[in-house]
A and B are shown apart, each in its own frame.
Chain A
Amino acid sequence: MSDLSEAVSLALTLVLTFDSDLIEIVALSLRVSLSAVLLACLIGLPLGAFLAITRFPGRGVALTFLNALMGLPPVVVGLIVYLHLSRAGPLGFLGLLYTPAAMIIAQTILITPIVAALSRQVLEDLHLEYADQFRSFALTRAQTMRALIWDARYSLLTVALAGFGRAVAEVGAVMIVGGNIDHLTRVMTTAIALETSRGELALAMALGVVLMVLALGVNAAVHGVRATAARQAHA
């Protein structure tokens, strides 16, 4: 219990004094994870919408495969990205290894299946309601996909939130491709892992408290947006 109170006290001190190291780590964590969420949404939402409205041979297998990808082990993704971005790898010439860009790539690969699979379910449910009307409108597939994504936007926020939760809490992949380099690629989870290994439990827990507060804050914001939308009958 004393460790926890010490951690909370330290976390408050770090936050209230605008500790520059903490701010840097939090900012990088948010930058990496939010960028990954944005990229995953750009890829995953159209993919989810396509799978929601399209019937083709092998669709069941594709959905099973996509659902299975939701459980991708982060360290395996980290290793694969590492192999591609290392000097000897096919994308080594880009010089991205041990940069935030590499971390964004790894997290994007991790959470795109989550966004695609969850959005597919949300959009398929909505499409059941809209399908006849959209066919009557004689919409193209692209028009249907855009309309579904827009009308499900508040539900899809929760999907994005699930992706963000996975990204911001992820440590294995970003550790491998980022290297946990101070002032360059150190994010909250890798910093927590490092401080724990160094025996700095209070600092590790303080960072953990900040991470949880951040996650709660993002959740609360999304919940607020959804509640407002529901009141306006747009959700």
Chain B
Amino acid sequence: MTDSALTHAPGMSLRVRDLSHRAGARRLLDAISLSLKPAGVTVIMGPNGAGKSLFLRLVHGLATPTAGQISWGGALLSPALTRRQSLVFQNPVLLRRSVAANVDFILRARGRSDPAKRDAALARVGLSDEAHHPARRLSGGQQQRLALARALVTEPEALLLDEPTASLDPASVLMIERIVADTAAQGTKIVFVTHDIGQARRLADDVVFLHAGQLAEYSPAARFFDAPRSEAAQAYLQGRLLI
């Protein structure tokens, strides 16, 4: 891997206070307050409809809370702060260009075209040989790795991932998990949404468990998996359906 051109910014802490989001009369997130450390992997877990993806969109600025405050590194969320983060979506949105051009795009948008950095990012996710292929011709796993390369090339202080491995084959899942773990090890804050318990066990330093739009539990990973305090988390880990 020619990784030397890529550097890693130190992570950013996240603090949310009384974060709420409503859609009409429905309360999708309800007064969530928590502080995430500036490093490590925080996994957001919960059943479908718990508000995991919405939480990620809110803290990244893609959705506007109906109440509450979001701050990163002590500063209130702003477009400038959003630029210091990267978000990888569950379904990668790739431009109708080559693999390399997809990475070049975000570098140019940030005003720093850098072929060496692009090549390093592609090498890091194992896509060097595909650099000049059309991005949309890649397999699902390759497309997600390209999305990850595009996210990492901006050297974000926080990397947010919204179920990035859903519907990928095990090899692709492991490869993405390894990249995420490496990125976290180099100091970048990771916020990873998943409902895959095995994946959460492999990656998490701490776990935020959401249920029905509420914060059911926020614990260090070991404690969460060994002795979850909330009834909702216990039921979830035991495979009982939560609605």
Cα–Cα, bound, A143→B83 (Å): 14
Q: Is the CB of A130 within 8 A of B93?
A: yes
Does B96 touch A at the CB level, under 8 Å? yes
Q: Is the CB of B62 within 8 A of A233?
A: no
Cα–Cα, bound, A129→B94 (Å): 10
Residues of B within 8 A of A233 (CB): 96, 134-137
- Residues of A that sit less than 8 Å from B by CB: 129-130, 132-133, 135-139, 143, 147, 151, 232-235
Q: Is the CB of A235 within 8 A of B96?
A: yes
Cα–Cα, bound, A137→B147 (Å): 12
Q: Is the CB of A136 within 8 A of B87?
A: yes
Pick the most buried of B62, B89, B109, B137: most chain A CB atoms within 10 A of its CB: B109
Q: In the complex, what residue of chain B is closest to A132 when comparing beta carbons?
A: B62
Q: Is the CB of B105 within 8 A of A133?
A: no
Interface residues on B, range: 20 to 34
Q: Is the CB of A136 within 8 A of B86?
A: yes
Give 1 or 0 for each of B78-111: 1 = CB within 8 Å of chain A CB. Answer: 0100110011010001011100000001100100
Pick the most buried of A139, A147, A234: most chain B CB atoms within 10 A of its CB: A234
Q: Is the CB of A138 within 8 A of B83?
A: yes
Q: Is the CB of B137 within 8 A of A129?
A: no
Q: Is the CB of A136 within 8 A of B136?
A: no
Does B118 touch A at the CB level, under 8 Å? no
Cα–Cα, bound, A135→B63 (Å): 10
Residues of A within 8 A of B105 (CB): 147
Please list 16 pairs of residues, one from A and one from B, whose beta carbons are closer than 8 Å in the complex, sorted by A's number. A129-B93, A132-B93, A137-B106, A137-B109, A138-B83, A143-B109, A147-B95, A151-B95, A232-B134, A232-B137, A233-B96, A233-B134, A234-B96, A234-B97, A234-B134, A235-B96
Residues of A within 8 A of B140 (CB): none
Q: Is the CB of A135 within 8 A of B61?
A: yes
Residues of A within 8 A of B87 (CB): 136
Does B60 touch A at the CB level, under 8 Å? yes
Grouping DSSP codes into helix (H, G, I), strand (E, B) and loop, the B interface class, with mixed when no group exceeds half, is mixed
Cα–Cα, bound, A234→B98 (Å): 8
Q: Is the CB of B62 within 8 A of A136?
A: yes
Q: In the complex, what residue of chain B is closest to A151 when comparing beta carbons?
A: B96
Given A138-B79, A233-B134: A133 in contact with B109 (beta carbons within 8 A):
no
Cα–Cα, bound, A233→B62 (Å): 28
CB-based closest 9 A-B pairs: A133-B93, A233-B136, A233-B134, A138-B83, A136-B87, A151-B96, A233-B137, A138-B82, A234-B96
Residues of B within 8 A of A133 (CB): 89, 93
Residues of A within 8 A of B97 (CB): 151, 234
Residues of A within 8 A of B79 (CB): 138
Cα–Cα, bound, A133→B136 (Å): 16
Q: In the complex, what residue of chain A is closest to B95 when comparing beta carbons?
A: A151
Residues of B within 8 A of A129 (CB): 93
Q: In the complex, what residue of chain A is closest to B78 when comparing beta carbons?
A: A138
Q: In the complex, what residue of chain A is closest to B57 when comparing beta carbons?
A: A132
Query: A201 to nearest B CB, angstroms?
Result: 48
Given A143-B109, A147-B95: A136 in contact with B82 (beta carbons within 8 A):
yes
Query: B106 to nearest A CB, angstroms?
Result: 6
Cα–Cα, bound, A71→B86 (Å): 45
Give residues 36-51 of B contacting A (CB, 8 Å): none
Cα–Cα, bound, A123→B228 (Å): 48
Residues of B within 8 A of A139 (CB): 109
Q: Is the CB of B60 within 8 A of A136?
A: yes
Cα–Cα, bound, A33→B114 (Å): 41
Residues of B within 8 A of A235 (CB): 96
Cα–Cα, bound, A79→B60 (Å): 54
Residues of B within 8 A of A138 (CB): 79, 82-83
Residues of A within 8 A of B60 (CB): 136
Query: B191 to nearest A CB, angstroms?
Result: 13
Q: In the complex, what residue of chain B is closest to A144 when comparing beta carbons?
A: B109
Query: A48 to nearest B CB, angstroms?
Result: 18
Cα–Cα, bound, A233→B96 (Å): 7
Cα–Cα, bound, A137→B104 (Å): 13
Cα–Cα, bound, A223→B229 (Å): 63
Residues of A within 8 A of B93 (CB): 129-130, 132-133
Cα–Cα, bound, A147→B135 (Å): 15
Q: In the complex, what residue of chain B is closest to A130 when comparing beta carbons?
A: B93
Residues of A within 8 A of B136 (CB): 233-234
Cα–Cα, bound, A136→B96 (Å): 18
